[in-house]
Structures are given as structure tokens and as C-alpha cells.
Chain A
């Protein structure tokens, strides 16, 4: 099984729609860290959020929100009222001792927001 699974290869929405990007992870560690990054067409990776395994509190930052559920090993990311500028590839990543404390990335989800 993959360590980080982003089952949605590509999502297209119309501006102002809400969209949720799924992320499912796998690790045997009890302490681990989850990340979301945004990669716009220019290529650089933009850090969005980090969550540690002991903090299941959901977080909201502007139009972005994250739902962390250990019971289902999921760390989903929702964009509310999407905008064209949200169009990018979004990566979920995991850092755990099991994987040598390196960032392990999911395959990414391409989000296209149309006006």
C-alpha cells in the first residue's frame, strides 16, 4: 500500500464552488506529521499546513480548512469558495520515523478552477 494516497488525480470546479482534496496515509508510528503543499504552475512548493499526530483539532485558515481523522488515517483539505488562483497541484506529505523522517509525498491532485 502507498504511504500517502491522493486518490483524486484531477478535479475541475467552477469558481466559488467548494472543493475537498482527499489524503489517506499509512504509518505504524504513533508520532508523525502531515503536511499539505501547493505547487502552482511556476513550480515552487508552497507550504500550507503541518499537523502532528497528537493534534486532531481541525483547522481553518481563511478559505482553507483541514480535517484530520486518525480513525480513518485521513487528512483532507477543503477550499471554500474556490478561486481561479487556487488552480495548482496540491500535495499531501507525511513525515514519520518509519520512513526515515523524510517527507513522503502523495501523487498530488491537480485542481483546476474555471471562471
Chain B
């Protein structure tokens, strides 16, 4: 079945630095990828929808200059947390839509646990 690879799985960074998270669809082309944020013991909150070759669409309240999303190819989307602060510490998870898999085609990555110290 469809596989989405997300790296890194864990990252610890210093406050003020930037962190890049990659999300790759391994065996299908993903024209659309989604980025979610999950706080401990809470649900997944959609941050943005990225479409290959165009600008990402951010959800209300998400700072686009803080969370840079690039979807330069049909198999890769990246989320860069710029000038990270401790409050950015969270679990980030991506999802890629395989259009050929119909509506079952929301495949999730394994997530990235970001800790900003």
C-alpha cells in the first residue's frame, strides 16, 4: 500500500534555530499534502495544505512566515519551523493524498516530535 516517509522522527533544537521536516510519498505521487500539529493528549490540528507547485494554504491562526511549507515535487513536501521557540515543541505529522486510491488515500507519515530547548 501507499507509504509516506517522514523524517526526522525526533529532533531537539535550540531556541532561535530553524528545523526542516521532510515528508515523502514513496510509491505514489501526491499532488496534495497536509501538515498537522498535535499537542500532547490532543487531537490533530490541520496547519496547512500544500499543493505541488503552488503556495500552501494555511489554516486560520497559523503563521505562514513561521511555518514554511514547500512542495516542490510530487513526492516531497517540507515543513520548516523558523526561529523555533519552546512553544513550537509539538508532534508534527504529515499526510499525503494518493488520488488514485480514492478517499481511502490519506496516508500519514510516522510523525516528528520536535523539542525546542
* Chain A positions near chain B (C-beta within 8 angstroms): 33, 35, 37, 42-45, 47, 50, 52, 91, 95, 102-108, 110
From DSSP, what is the main secondary structure of chain B's interface residues? Answer: strand
A110 to B40, CA, bound (A): 12
- The 8 lowest CB-CB distance pairs between A and B, nearest first, are A45-B108, A43-B111, A44-B110, A105-B43, A107-B43, A105-B44, A50-B104, A108-B43
Quote the shortest CB–CB distance from B2 to chain A (angstroms).
10
In the complex the two chains form, is A44's CB within 8 Å of B43's CB? no
Q: Does B67 contact A (CB under 8 A)?
A: no
Q: Which residues of B contact A33 (CB under 8 A)?
A: 103
A95 to B32, CA, bound (A): 15
A48 to B104, CA, bound (A): 9
* Chain B positions near chain A (C-beta within 8 angstroms): 34, 41-44, 46, 49, 91, 93, 95, 103-104, 106-111, 113
CB nearest to A108 among chain B residues: B43
Q: Which residues of A contact B106 (CB under 8 A)?
A: 35, 47, 103
Quote the shortest CB–CB distance from A83 to chain B (angstroms).
22
Q: Which residues of B contact A108 (CB under 8 A)?
A: 42-43
In the complex the two chains form, is B43's CB within 8 Å of A43's CB? no
Quote the shortest CB–CB distance from A87 to chain B (angstroms).
15
Quote the shortest CB–CB distance from B65 to chain A (angstroms).
22
In the complex the two chains form, is A102's CB within 8 Å of B113's CB? no
CB nearest to B46 among chain A residues: A102
In the complex the two chains form, is A44's CB within 8 Å of B109's CB? yes
20 A-B pairs in the complex with CB atoms less than 8 angstroms apart: A33-B103, A43-B93, A43-B113, A44-B108, A44-B109, A44-B111, A45-B44, A45-B93, A45-B95, A47-B104, A47-B106, A91-B43, A102-B34, A102-B46, A102-B49, A103-B34, A104-B46, A105-B43, A106-B43, A108-B43
